[in-house]
Amino acid sequence: MKKRQLGSSDLFLSEISLGGMSLSTDKEKAAGIVDMALDAGINYFDTADLYDLGVNETIIGETLGKRRQDIILATKVGNRWSEGVEGWHWDASSSYIKEAVHASLQRLGTDYIDVYQLHGGTIADDWDGIINTFEELKKDGLIREYGISSIRPNVLQRFLPASSAKSVMMQYSALDRRPEEWLDYIAGEGASVVTRGTVAKGFLTNTWKDRQQRGNGYNAYTADELATTLAGLATHYDDLHALALAFNLKESTIASTVIGASSQEQLAQTLAAYEKSMEILDFEKALELTKSEQYQDHR
């Protein structure tokens, strides 16, 4: 498993990382997936306090156990909930971030978080306060680096130049190329991108035929456009799962692709695709067949 530097930080992430959102709440099943990931050389684990309202952090913390020092652990903050109250609301206040980081540390069973990410944000947020809070947490040794999970250009333009953020989590794939406009900008600010949505809800896997027949398009693609695009990609590239990983990892700004797994079988498929992805060097047809678009909102 190859590794890449996260921005200008001292952290080096495995090119494939494990996302916690789809991880089973069954501890034994989750442990099997985490063990397989570690054995494969995956060292970056991404979760959030929002996933299963904290349960996901607890599961990952208990599953990693004494192997905590062998991995780079990332979680997120900003979506606040209260016990007994349905739903959650956005809270990026300094007081809440400081409260939430301690709750995450307790659930994760660790005394530091490697990458602490704001889980969204709007241009109306108090960015000076947010940045100062992250810097304070870093100074106190509670976090090593920080970043943001956001696709909003105006937020990135406000946040990155004013901070020492090293990570931007964004949805990016061959079927959603909107971040391409911003990759050089992000790299220029000393940060890297960690991608989510890499396999585009499974459309960019080898089950694409079944999925597109059951689906109703994806992102900017109508159902018919999606079917035509996927068929074209499959004709030129014999493994869409491998293509999905290679397409993202061709970008030097991308440090890692976060892949979810609800079973060991799913993770095994991703690992096999990763091996094949190294053989894909020509992306001309993929770029030709897919849409190159830009974000229209939040500019």
State yes or no: is 51 an active-site residue: yes
The whole-angstrom separation of Cα 257 and Cα 245 is: 7
Give residue 258's Cα distance to chain centre: 4
- Output the CA–CA distances (angstroms, integers) from residue 7 to 31, 43, 191, in the order listed: 30, 16, 4
Name the catalytic one among 44, 51, 116, 172. Answer: 51
The whole-angstrom separation of Cα 136 and Cα 55 is: 26
Q: What angle do CA 25, 52, 115 make, to 5 degrees?
A: 100
With a CB cutoff of 8 Å and minimum separation 6, the contacts of 207 are none
With a CB cutoff of 8 Å and minimum separation 6, the contacts of 31 are 63
Q: Give per-residue burial for 219-258: e unless 16+ CB within 10 Å, then b.
A: bebeeeebbebbeebeeebebbbbbbbbbbbebebbbbbb
Which residues does the annotation mark as catalytic? 51
